[in-house]
Structures are given as C-alpha cells and as structure tokens.
Amino acid sequence: MSVSQVRSPYDVRILCRNKAFNAPSTAGLCPGYSQANVIILPNKFAADFRCPLLGETKPGDPQVPEALAADSDVRTDCPSYNVYRDGVFSEQKESIEQEWRNDSVTFFIGCSYSFEAALAKNGLAPRHLELGRAVPMYRTSYRLCPAGVFSGHMVVSMRPYRLADLERVRDITRPFVKTHGEPVAWGPEGAKSLGITDLDGTNPDFGDPTVIKDGEIAVYFGCGVTPQLSVMDSGIAGEVVGHTPGRMLMLDIKDEDVCVSV
C-alpha cells in the first residue's frame, strides 16, 4: 500500500509503523479526520506543560488513547519525529522506540490541518494542498506566558488568501477552537506585529515554501509546533521528542469532534 491508496487514518498509521510513508506531509490525507501535533516529555515536566490538549498518555504508556486512535503506538505511528537533546535539535527519526523511557508522557495537541477540509469544501482550499507540500510555519516575536520551566515564542502557520475572502476564512475556522481556530493576524501589518520578515512565503522556519499570488495576503494561524520551539527556547534538559512539523499523527476522530458551535 502507498500513500495514494490510503482510505483511513489507520492505513496512514500502518504505513508509518512500517516505515513506508513517503509523502512530504500529512496535509490533505483522509479529509474529515483530525490530526494531532505530538510532543513527548519526561514526566517531571508534565505538570508545567499542560495546556489545551486533545489528550495525553500515562507515564511510560506508548499507546495513544483509544478515544483518539485505536491500536496506535505513538513511538511508530507518526511519519517522522524530531529529537531534541538539552533543548537542541539532534536528529530526525522514523521511529522512537529507542528514545522511549518509563517516565515518557505524550501530549496530543490540535492541528490546523483539521479545518482544511472545511476550507476546501467552501472553495478555499489552502495553497499548500494544491502544491502537495507542508504548510509554511514561522517563529514569531510574540512571547508566550511562562509556565514552570517553559517559556518562548509562538509559532504560526500561514495560508495565503484574497483579502475579499478573509471574513469567510475567519468564519469557517472560528469554531475549531481545539485546533487553533480563526487567524491571529494577516497581511503586512499582521506580519510586522508578529516579527515575520518573509512576506512572500518563500523562506519559512518550518514546513515548505508556498506561493502568494497577486492580490493575496498572508493569513497566520496558531500552530502546534509552538511547544517544540518552547523546548528549544527554554533549553529543557534531557531528551524531548516531537513530530516532524507538517507530518502529523492521524487520528480516528472526525473534524466535527474538535469543532464547537458558535
């Protein structure tokens, strides 16, 4: 089975488990199903880290909660992982069974890929889906509220849209509060407020470059890569693992499960 043949989130997880996932991103896979950012920390940091979450594991248990995904092992079921040692990116791996510890705790954080099917359904498909790429992501100058050992700056994802479509984009994404919701900023002034200097989408900090066409503006959303940047900004001692940005854990829950009525 190849990525083009997958029919369910479970199929994607099996490809990952067998180290056979060869797409650049999980964007656009299994429309209607949610995806999650993943970060794995020593249990001693868990209380400091907790923030709005889709779920978490018990210390030392690698099984994804059944409410999120059936028969899923977080050590193998993402396409790839970033490993950080003492707050510094060390390597990218296809599985992290060797890095797993008895005190490892996994947090599952909402992903903005989860509202992209709704955008596409309304004729507003994100550009990176058209290009077959991961969404571009940027470090910002917006400081997070410190929590215990964690501090740092927010990361945002970016999707270009016409200014005339902005209110529709906001209306469609607003209910997805568990997966970042509506945009946090847009246009040149928004980029300036976030400290972003790459105004044409060609040099993101994470993910892939995109194309901003004439008449379009950059629209910025909250991003679940923020915790990984916080790990680096805070210099967290020891080993921490996160999904590779743009290559998420596929969940069995539907997009409407992370959407609220407004």
Q: Can you tell me the distance from the alpha carbon of 90 to that of 106, in angstroms, rounded to the nearest whole number?
A: 19
Burial classification of residue 231, based on how many CB atoms lie within 10 Å of its CB (0-12 exposed, 13-18 middle, 19 or more buried): buried
The CA distance from 97 to 66, in Å, is 20
Residue 82 lies in a domain: yes
Q: Are residues 125 and 207 in the same domain?
A: yes
Burial of 93 (0-12, 13-18, 19+ CB in 10 A): middle
Shared domain for 107 and 122, answered yes or no, is no
CB atoms inside a 10 Å sphere around CB 11: 16
Q: Is residue 180 part of a domain?
A: yes
**What's the pLDDT at 178?**
82
Answer yes or no: do 247 and 217 share one domain. Answer: no
Residues 119 and 90 in one domain: no
- 208 and 248 within one domain: no
Closest among 175, 181, 180 to 260, alpha carbons compared = 175
Are residue 36 and residue 12 in the same domain, yes or no? yes
Q: What is the pLDDT of residue 138?
A: 98
What pLDDT sits at residue 257?
84
Residues 103 and 124 both lie in one domain: no
Question: Contact, 140 vs 155, CB < 8 A?
Answer: yes
User: How do the pLDDT tens digits run along the chain, 262 residues long?
Assistant: 788 788 899 999 999 999 999 999 999 999 999 999 999 999 999 999 887 789 999 999 999 999 999 999 999 999 999 999 999 999 999 999 999 999 999 999 988 888 998 999 999 999 999 999 999 999 999 999 999 999 999 999 999 999 999 999 999 999 998 888 899 999 999 999 999 999 999 999 999 999 999 999 999 999 989 988 998 889 888 999 999 999 999 999 998 888 764 4
Q: Is 42 exposed, middle or buried (0-12, 13-18, 19+ CB in 10 A)?
A: middle
Separation CA 226–CA 256 (nearest Å): 24
Are the C-beta atoms of 100 and 75 separated by less than 8 Å?
A: yes
- Predicted confidence at residue 2, as pLDDT, reads 80
DSSP H helical segments within 18-104, as ranges? Answer: 46-49
**Considering the domain boundaries, does residue 231 fall inside one?**
no
Q: Are residues 141 and 213 in the same domain?
A: yes
**At 247, which CATH number?**
3.40.1640.10
Residue 143 lies in a domain: yes
Residue 98: domain span: 3-111+236-256
**Is residue 230 in some structural domain?**
no
Dist CA 188 CA 251 (whole Å)? 35
Whether residue 107 is contained in a domain is answered as yes
- Report the CATH number that the domain containing residue 131 is assigned in CATH: 3.30.2040.10
Which tokens go with 25?
Answer: 């991103």
Quick one: pLDDT at residue 260? 66
**Both 21 and 73 in a single domain?**
yes
Q: How many domains does the chain have?
A: 2
Domain match, 83 and 7 both: yes
Asked if residue 145 belongs to a domain, the reply is yes
| Contacts with 110 (C-beta within 8 Å, 6 or more apart), sequence order | 34, 36, 37, 52, 54, 176, 178, 179, 180, 224, 258
- Name the pTM for this structure: 0.90
Q: Which amino acid is present at 45?
A: F
Same domain, 17 and 102: yes
Nearest to 220 by CA among 129, 145, 124, 155: 155
| 75/141 same-domain check | no
The values of phi and psi at residue 89, to 5°, are -60, 130
